[in-house]
Chains A and B, each alone.
Chain A
Amino acid sequence: MTISEQDLRELLRERSDVVPSSPDRVDAVKQRVRRQRRIEAAAVGAGLMAALVAVAAVVAPRLGDASPTPVPPATQSATPGPQVTGSATYDGIRMDTSGPATVHGTTPFTVTVTVTNTTPQEWRGAVDVGVHRPGPRPNAADNLFITSPAAPTDHVDIAQLPDGLTELDGVRSGDLVLAAGQTTTVTLGMQRATTTVAHPDIHGWVPWINGTPIDSLDPSGFSIVTVDPRDPEATCASFDVSSATEKRLPDQLLGAATATTAAATATPDWTEVPGLPASFAPSVFGADVDLVTLIDGLGTFGMEGVGGASSNKPDLTAPSYAATFVTYAGISPVDITFTGTCVDVDSTVAPLPMSGVLHTYRSDVGGILDCALVPPARSLALVAAAYCPAGSRARKAFQAS
């Protein structure tokens, strides 16, 4: 049998034939929108600061000119018109950015970003460069696209700004790994889709440090269980994390598990195991603390962030041999000690010094357990072993633990 186009069509239809239902999808989407707005309230503020820096770098020298600098007509060169340059520093990562001030039509253009790691440790991440331009994106085809094969990049749909009149759109570098003190230059090529009429003027560039991908900043499930001593929904002007402690067993909690007995000849049929707790988040509040700062703060403790706790299970890799498996996912409680200048929600008083402990959790602990094997001591797998068949080695280890 060869793989014909018709085979592909049949396979794709067959695989997507049975669609699971999700009656709560609308509510889930609305919840995401609310959470994203909280993030953007913090993130866009930082982005706009960078844009202002970039624009100011161009505008400031001109303020002293007796006559305005004429803007040359647009050309079809790769980087037309006057150049915008600027720089910004996030968390010790300095970025110097340059690119055209205006772009018209479908002219391709490039933005150059010089990234310097000024921190004493290795930095891993990516760099986004957003185009700050007027007007909402009129249609889906109105994207900016990568043109530079030399720099593997992703398209990034960054955000529509809260005023509803401007939008950030941009591109992302490939993964960068910078040793302490190392500098590298990234050239990001962009081009408007040919279906559009013209580029509006670009207001400036927003360089963006992306230590974790933007999509994973979605704090789905992020919760502050308790905040002592103030209102859990406080908004903080400053937020400094002095310690973050991730608890391991026995405080880790199992949140999802499925089991299957896979035959080598069949596609495994994973089923939910009975008896799991209905929810492992005691209560969920809105988290209007400065989340970006919070995540940055956590980074200094070697943690990538918090949140994402849900019933998500690990990607299920089809076992390649016959056995009984349990997939599992859980959370690890995290205590974050902080000081900040915060104000309670809806309060009209000025922000006040505030300190306390946030009790939250991270959820990226999971795996697939072979019930014929003994899980490591003090691992979440050992908890998941409770769902292995009676008499199996894993189940016995759980009972003995």
Chain B
Amino acid sequence: MAEWPEFSDFVAVRSPALLRTAYLLTGNWASAEDLLQTALAKCWRRWGRLADNPEPYVHATLVNTFLSWRGRKWNDEVPTGELPERLDADPTAAVDEREAVWQALSRLPRRQRAVVVLRYFEDLSEAETARLLGISTGTVKSQSSKALATLRVDDDLRSDRARNEVG
């Protein structure tokens, strides 16, 4: 297998930033590491042709891999069956709204979530986001708008907000 010293350097320097993006896309660090390694493995094979600036390619590969990813099948064992009712605590009463937003984000369709991460975390422009995802700027606008609208009407958030307003 060919050795690319620059690859190791790139991974050492750029991995933290890429892992952040992967985490925001997948919602957990284990999947993020898996996604990042999958994307890097794809890029490794073309590393010799990526010349001096591999970052855009790696970045795009990461996002596109996420979009095409169905995830590992996980045959969950359910040892607890039906969880018992707990009367001593309202399970959502004190949930922080930011946590609720984070959970609501995880329920967004993948492309909308990708648009949110690219636009609001990486601060890419609509044109840059469109180029990276291979969609039109109009689609970026509509996906972004739908994502925000979905977050604003998410049932969990709405109920949480209502509680806060009442309280």
Contacts and interface: CB of A to CB of B under 8 A. Distances in A.
B121 A12 contact: yes
Interface string B56-74: 1101110011011111111
Contacts of A32: 37-38, 41
Chain B CB within 10 Å, residue with most, of A14, A34, A216, A382? A216
Interface footprint category on A: 35 or more
B115 to A, nearest CB: 11
Interface string B107-136: 000000000110011010000000110110
Interface string B94-114: 111111011100000000000
B94 A265 contact: yes
Interface string A1-30: 111010111011111100110100110111
A11 B98 contact: yes
A284 interface: no
A25 B132 contact: no
Contact of B75 (A267, A318, A364, A381): A364
B70 A366 contact: no
A333 to B, nearest CB: 15
Contacts of B30: 312-313, 315
Contacts of B24: 12, 15-16
A1 B8 CA distance: 44
Majority SS of interface residues in chain B? helix
B42 interface: yes
B140 to A, nearest CB: 14
Contacts of A316: 28
A42 to B, nearest CB: 17
Nearest to A256: B30
A318 B148 CA distance: 23
A182 interface: no
Contacts of B71: 213, 215-216
A195 to B, nearest CB: 7
B79 A367 contact: yes
A157 interface: yes
Contacts of B121: 9, 12-13, 16
Nearest to B94: A265
A38 B98 CA distance: 44
Contacts of B117: 12
Interface in A347-400: 364-370, 373, 375-376, 379-382
Chain A CB within 10 Å, residue with most, of B20, B116, B123, B148? B20
Contacts of A141: 60, 131-132, 134
Contacts of B60: 140-141
A311 B24 CA distance: 21
A279 to B, nearest CB: 18
Given A15-B24, A16-B20, A267-B99, 4 more contacts: A3-B151, A29-B37, A322-B89, A364-B75
